[in-house]
């Protein structure tokens, strides 16, 4: 049944929900990347919670005017207006008072969310059918989603992705180097407003699928996951979009194959599972790769220290060092260097002397600071610089 859900064979409604969720996940991933790089993840939380009063007020207004209070486009417009108000409240408090941004976010988040809960309670007492399913905007609700609803969510996600592509260069510049961006003529406030506007757009269109409480996770977890796979901003954006879409696809399919399970929480759980797998297995920054590099570095340090000891005729007391030298064919089990070990030891001692001279030379001091015990001097200094150092050291006899 899961395979059928993944291949869009589980019915019309399940297909609608899955396609809308995939586009939402893609938009959330690429948009959240700039929020993550800008170190403003908490702003998305304030925007998300600020949407609830707009939903409640829009429902009340529609009902009093005689319209259907559950009209999704109208509810999303109300949530967008409320989110804009919350965003400007955070920026005003940060700019005009002594409150830090996180304190302003906490104040706005709590006040708007509390006001929204009060409105939902008021709606319960109205004669027009109680909350009418508005609690679904808290954690998401895809049951009974219509084609118009799915099309609206998909179109909103596609527009957000297009705007991210359009503004990707200034947003990347502001995220990594705000000082340089300001001196080059880029308006930091304007680009920040663009980023916040895109976040607001994702939040509003995602209310129906994942809800205002969980949309923050869909904005942040995919970019954090993508960061394990690349150091380049443009690649992180692409990976974040892929992980966001993949999380939404699998989560929506799981929910469709097990109708009693909610779509929004499953999408977030799948997103976290991808994060956990990336944290462990990513080849560049994963835990296993880091552990392997650390082990390789320790092994290299042991061999390097052992070679220096052999070159200076010192005994090797560390069993691990002697074992590694023996496995590499550089020394016998009794600590006596082999022929190849003698040659490697002489080169290691010469390089160590070279680094000592480089560190004592003002013009080379900065480059020599890169030495970590294993870095080859040829990878840092030019042949002319090395030749100059060798002239000061003398021949191999002088080093020995």
Check whether 68 has a pLDDT greater than 80.
Answer: no
315 CB contacts (<8 Å, ≥6 apart)? Answer: 309, 335
Predicted confidence at residue 49, as pLDDT, reads 84
- Which string of b and e fits 37-76 if b means at least 16 CB within 10 Å? bbebbbbbbbbbbbbbbbbbbbbbebbeeeeebeebebbb
Question: What is the enclosing helix (H) or strand (E) of 261?
Answer: none
Query: Quick one: pLDDT at residue 229?
Result: 93
Is the per-residue pLDDT at 308 higher than 50?
yes
- Judged against a pLDDT cut of 50, whether residue 335 lies above it is answered with yes
Q: Where does 2-282 sit in CATH, by number?
A: 1.10.3470.10
Of all residues in the chain, the percent with pLDDT exceeding 90 is 18
Q: What is the pLDDT of residue 271?
A: 94
What's the CA gap between 398 and 67, in Å, rounded? 95
Q: Are 48 and 216 in contact (CB under 8 A)?
A: yes
Q: What pLDDT sits at residue 135?
A: 67
CATH 1.10.3470.10 domain extents, the chain: 2-282
> What is the structure's pLDDT at 277?
96
Residue 397 above 50 pLDDT? no
Q: What is the pLDDT of residues 237-289, one digit of tens each?
A: 999 999 999 999 999 888 888 877 888 888 899 999 999 999 999 988 899 99
What does pLDDT average to over the chain?
84
Q: What is the pTM of this model?
A: 0.80
Residues sharing a CB contact under 8 Å with residue 119, sequence separation 6 or more, in sequence order: 52, 53, 56, 57, 60
Longest Cα separation, the chain? 99
pLDDT at 129: 53
Write 235-238 long-range contacts (CB < 8 A, 24+): 236/33, 236/37, 237/30, 237/33, 237/34, 237/164, 237/168, 238/30
Q: What is the DSSP string of 301-319?
A: HHHHHHHHHHHTT-----H
3-state secondary structure of 331: strand
> Is 50 exceeded by the pLDDT of residue 340?
yes
What does residue 184 show for φ and ψ, rounded to 5 degrees? -90, 5
DSSP 228-245: TT-SSHHHHHHHHHHHHH
Check residues 12 and 15 and name the one with the higher pLDDT: 15
pLDDT given at position 4:
78
- State mean pLDDT over 120-131: 71
pLDDT one-digit tens code per residue, 183-210: 888 888 788 888 888 888 888 888 777 7
């Amino acid at each position: 049944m899961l395979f059928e859900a993944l291949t869009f064979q589980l019915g019309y409604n399940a297909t609608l929900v899955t396609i809308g969720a995939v586009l939402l996940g893609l938009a959330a991933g690429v948009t959240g990347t700039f929020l993550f790089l800008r170190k403003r993840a908490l702003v998305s939380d304030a925007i998300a919670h600020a949407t609830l009063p707009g939903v409640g007020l829009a429902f009340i207004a529609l009902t009093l005017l005689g319209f259907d209070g559950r009209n999704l486009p109208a509810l999303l417009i109300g949530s967008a207006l409320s989110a804009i108000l919350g965003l400007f409240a955070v920026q005003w408090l940060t700019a005009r008072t002594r409150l830090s941004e996180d304190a302003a976010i906490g104040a706005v988040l709590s006040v708007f969310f509390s006001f929204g809960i009060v409105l939902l309670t008021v709606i319960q007492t109205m004669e027009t059918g109680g909350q009418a399913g508005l609690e679904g905007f808290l954690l998401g609700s895809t049951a009974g989603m219509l084609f118009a609803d799915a099309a609206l969510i998909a179109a909103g996600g596609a527009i957000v992705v297009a705007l991210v592509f359009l503004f990707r260069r200034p947003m990347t510049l502001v995220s990594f180097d705000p000082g340089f961006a300001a001196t080059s003529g880029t308006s930091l406030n304007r680009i920040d407003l663009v980023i916040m506007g895109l976040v607001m757009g994702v939040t509003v269109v995602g209310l129906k699928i994942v809800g205002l409480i969980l949309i923050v996770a869909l904005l942040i977890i995919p970019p954090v996951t993508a960061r394990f796979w690349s150091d380049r901003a443009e690649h992180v954006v692409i990976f974040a979009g892929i992980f966001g879409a993949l999380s939404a696809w699998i989560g929506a399919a799981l929910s469709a194959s097990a109708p009693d399970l909610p779509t929004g929480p499953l999408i977030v759980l799948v997103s976290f599972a991808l994060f956990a797998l990336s944290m462990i297995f990513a080849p560049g920054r994963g835990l296993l790769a880091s552990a392997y590099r650390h082990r390789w570095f320790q092994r290299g340090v042991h061999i390097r220290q052992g070679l220096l000891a052999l070159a200076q005729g010192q005994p090797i007391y560390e069993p691990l060092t002697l074992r590694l030298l023996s496995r590499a064919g550089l020394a016998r089990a009794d600590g006596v260097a082999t022929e190849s070990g003698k040659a490697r030891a002489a080169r290691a001692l010469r390089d160590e002397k070279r680094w000592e001279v480089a560190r004592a030379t003002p013009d080379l001091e900065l480059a020599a600071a890169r030495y970590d015990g294993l870095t080859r001097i040829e990878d840092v200094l030019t042949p002319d610089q090395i030749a100059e150092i060798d002239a000061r050291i003398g021949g191999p006899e002088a080093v020995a």
